[in-house]
Amino acid sequence: MAVKDYTDSEPFLMKEADVQTKSRPHVRSKTAELFQIAAYALIFAYIIRVFFVQAFKIPTGSMENTLVIGDLLLVNKFVYGARTPENIPFTSIHIPQFRLPAVREPQPGDVLVFKFPPDPSVDYIKRCIAVAGQTVEVRNKEVFVDGKPFSSIKNPDGLKFEDPEIIPRNKGYEAVYPKDAGSRDNYGPVTVPEGSLFVMGDNRDRSYDSRQWGFVPRDYVLGKAMLVYWSTERDDVWSPRWSRIGLWVE
């Protein structure tokens, strides 16, 4: 009776089992590595968003034609000194905030993103007209800063006037700040207080700005508008405005 020799097959079976056993931790380590890479990427993106660059979308026409409804722009948060988060990430737990040193302060002519003073939960975008200590006046729609035309500081290509009517000083149709400051088209002079900014939209007749609700605290400034990276017709993401993509905000 023949006897079957297992001496050659047993080592093979043992080696195959060893390979299967060793492959499982290898798969687990690859999965863990992918999760680690994803976590690092999320942390990196969060740091970039908080301290350096954040994306915003233009929802109204108050900055036309410099910025139009549907523009998506990148905002430089680093230049004016970014603030640390108000809450622990992904929670509602408040933590102390501090601001990083600014590269420079906001200047007349800069396009700013800031917390809306009457409701800080809302972000607004306007052009800085004057800073603390400067005097602002509007005469028949023309803006003056310290007695000089604002156009000598900055004359935006997208500046727009929709209403041909010039509202007299004593015949305002809407509230102004302060209440005795005149009208939309004949306003001031008012002096910007310490730690504040005066802002206006480039669509001067259709902008709800410092003429109506007052000054922007410097601490409310989030960043400087930098670049239009995408633009669509209203909410139709499939109708890009190719001519606007890549425009620097001036």
Over its C-alpha atoms, the chain yields an Rg (Å, rounded) of 29
Instruction: Report yes or no: 115 and 220 within 8 Å, Cβ to Cβ.
Output: yes
If you count DSSP H runs as helices and E runs as strands, how many of each does the chain have, helices first?
2, 12
Q: 3-state class of 17 per DSSP?
A: helix
Q: Which residue in the block uniquely carries the two structure tokens 């640390």?
A: 84
Instruction: Report yes or no: 142 and 97 within 8 Å, Cβ to Cβ.
Output: no
**Segment 128-152, tens digit of pLDDT:** 999 999 999 999 999 999 999 999 9
* Residue 44, pLDDT above cutoff 80: no
Instruction: Report yes or no: 170 and 179 within 8 Å, Cβ to Cβ.
Output: no
12 against 80, higher pLDDT: 80
Instruction: Report yes or no: 77 and 54 within 8 Å, Cβ to Cβ.
Output: yes
Residues 6+ apart with CB under 8 A from 200: 126, 127, 129, 143, 207, 209, 210, 211
Question: Strand runs (DSSP E) across 105-249, as ranges?
Answer: 111-116, 119-131, 135-139, 142-145, 148-149, 187-191, 196-200, 216-217, 221-233, 236-240
pLDDT at position 33 is 81
Residues 6+ apart with CB under 8 A from 141: 161, 166, 185, 204, 205
**Segment 201-236, tens digit of pLDDT:** 999 999 999 999 999 999 999 999 999 999 998 666
**Segment 71-124, tens digit of pLDDT:** 999 999 999 998 877 777 777 888 787 788 999 999 999 999 999 999 999 999
Which positions are catalytic?
62, 126
pLDDT at position 99 is 82
Q: How many C-beta atoms surround the C-beta of residue 225 within 10 A?
A: 25
Q: What is the mean pLDDT of residues 154-173?
A: 92
Q: What is the token pair recorded at 49? A: 């968003």
pLDDT at position 234 is 67
Q: What is the mean pLDDT of residues 164-172?
A: 90
Confidence of residue 13 (pLDDT cuts 50, 70, 90): very low
